[in-house]
Amino acid sequence: MAQPAALDFDAFYADRLGRCGGAAPDVPWDLRGPQPALVRAGEAVRSPVLEVGCGLGGNAVHLALAGHRVTAADISPAAVREARRRAGAAGAEVEFAAADATDLGSGFTGFATVVDVALLHSLPTGLHRAYARCLHGAARPGARLLLLCLAGTGEAADAGAGPRPLSRERIRAALHGYWRVRRFRREELAAPGGASADPAWLVEAVRC
């Protein structure tokens, strides 16, 4: 799960990975594997795949081992280094890159599926449109977006750090004009260590 822009991602990851030798017990979204909701949505994934906000790589590794060609990006170089190490240990071929999902640049293009596991709900609302536009630019015509985010109702405030549950209306507004939402499915966002899962939306959208 990604964290909001107020957090210095790279310092956060570097501190915890440096102290714990890659075990990262203080990273509250590190499942050391994929989100179960993404596994359940596997039939919707087509190669090549771009995952944004990949964190420590659990979802990207799963997709690669399932036979997909995967590129995975995160804003934190420290996270990317650890994700690359874990992928190598698992025998998974993933192309990792340190990149901002709201400003990927021209090197990201032609993807058939874009995956976001818990990034959008951590972005300030002011960056939602840049996010949607950027992912649209990275995707080929007819591409799918699979988005897993905390589920909420109404309008969530932007004050303070931390992820904010998003309503269907807020998600549609974020994606409007770039991605056409096909369906919302009630899901859960799992937490490590047996902690309670949080209600989530699994959103499937198609590139406009």
- Condensed to tens digits (0 to 9), the pLDDT of residues 94-108 reads 999 999 999 998 899
Q: Which value, to the nearest 10 degrees, does the dihedral of the CA atoms of residues 117, 154, 125, 32 take? A: -20
Q: Are 117 and 1 in contact (CB under 8 A)?
A: yes
Range with lowest mean pLDDT among 79-83, 155-159, 186-190: 155-159
Token pair listed for 142: 């007819």
Assigned domain for 31 exists: no
Assigned domain for 110 exists: yes
Prior bond of 25 cis (ω within 30°): no
The rounded percent of the chain whose pLDDT value lies above 70 is 88
Assigned domain for 18 exists: yes
Token pair listed for 125: 């609302």
Assigned domain for 55 exists: yes
Q: Is the pLDDT of residue 3 over 50?
A: no
Assigned domain for 1 exists: no
Mean pLDDT of the chain: 90
Give the pLDDT of residue 163. 83
Q: What is the largest CA-CA distance in the chain?
A: 44
Number of domains observed in the structure of the chain: 1
Give the mean pLDDT of 170-180: 98
Close Cβ partners of 64 (under 8 Å, ≥ 6 residues apart): 70, 87, 92, 93, 94
- Please write the tens of the pLDDT for every residue from 21-72: 555 556 778 899 999 999 999 999 999 999 999 999 999 999 999 999 999 9
Assigned domain for 33 exists: no
CATH code, domain carrying 188: 3.40.50.150
Taking the C-alpha atoms of residue 90 and residue 43, their distance in angstroms, rounded to an integer, is 22
Q: Is the pLDDT of residue 158 over 70?
A: no
Give the pLDDT of residue 154. 63
Q: Decide: pTM greater than 0.85.
A: yes
Assigned domain for 29 exists: no
Burial of 200 (C-beta count, 10 Å sphere; 0-12/13-18/19+): buried
Q: Which domain holds residue 107?
A: 9-24+38-207
